[in-house]
Amino acid sequence: MTDLAASVESVEQLALVWRGAVLDRDPGADVRDLPGIAVRWADCRFAFWNCVTLTEVGIDADVLDQRLAEAADVMRSKRHPGFLWLFEDLLTDGARTALDAAADRAGLRHAFPGTGMAAEPLPAAEPAHPDLTFERVTTDEQLRAYADLNSRAYGFPLEDGRDGLVPGSALWKTRAHAYLGLRDGVPVTCAAAVEADGRLFVALVATDPDHQHRGYGEAVTRKVIHEGARATGLDRATLHATPAGAPVYARIGFEPNSTVHFYGLKG
């Protein structure tokens, strides 16, 4: 798969999985496909569920200016903040050069970088870690623990995560392969794999800050990939990694294929 094709895959996976996640959170959420922009906005306190992304291939500098302004207008119309996900490989060279200035004109600030990654074939070995036992998320109590781990890992108030992963979710408790990793019976890490267009999409990987750098995130990610692949027969997985997560996923076999920029509104 070429770098451009992988970037297109990465955008399409985001738009598809986030459609399901946002509508799971709120069936009346703002889920639209505008010209060149996918809106996936739950307008909840969990900022990751408030998302817009550019979808066209070969965006030049003029179109970039227009799309960033349109995306920022969508973001300003909402009650809760979120992010514009921008996949750099969709831009022409001229648009990449103009990106910083264009974002500034649109009233956007760069929040943090990310990396699109994919793995094929998937690791086949049964995952294990000497410190951990694994439980699939099937109850509201387990889902709350999953939400709290994400809040702690990403620096959100606990109520923000709980507002995103709400009791009664059909996605996270039934359709996703979402797992907790427990140490001495206490949830310390979590991850999920969601089937999406012939692939497994790995999402919401988090480890409690007091238990990081012990291989827990890698172990639970291996677990959800193993269980997802066994249930579906799929042999390709995709994800979007933070700088801290990318080396973990590389050890599992994921390779980087697209550069992602996250933007929030200024002020």
Domains of the chain and any CATH numbers = 3-115+260-265 (no CATH), 133-235 (3.40.630.30)
- For tokens 């985001």, name the residue: 14
SS percent in the chain: helix, strand, coil, step 5: 45, 30, 25
Token code pair at residue 130: 């000497």
CA torsion 20→81→264→211, rounded to 10°?
-70
Nearest partner of 242 among 267, 212, 210, judged by Cα: 212
CA distance 105 to 66: 10
Record the pTM.
0.96
In 48-207, DSSP assigns E strands to 50-54, 83-87, 108-119, 133-136, 177-183, 186-196, 199-207
CA distance 236 to 60: 31
Query: Mind listing the pLDDT tens digit of every residue in the chain (267 residues)?
Result: 778 999 999 999 999 999 999 999 999 999 999 999 999 999 999 999 999 999 999 999 999 999 999 999 999 999 999 999 999 999 999 999 999 999 999 999 999 999 999 999 998 888 999 999 999 999 999 999 999 999 999 999 999 999 999 988 889 999 999 999 999 999 999 999 999 999 999 999 999 999 999 999 999 999 999 999 999 999 999 999 999 999 999 999 999 999 999 999 998
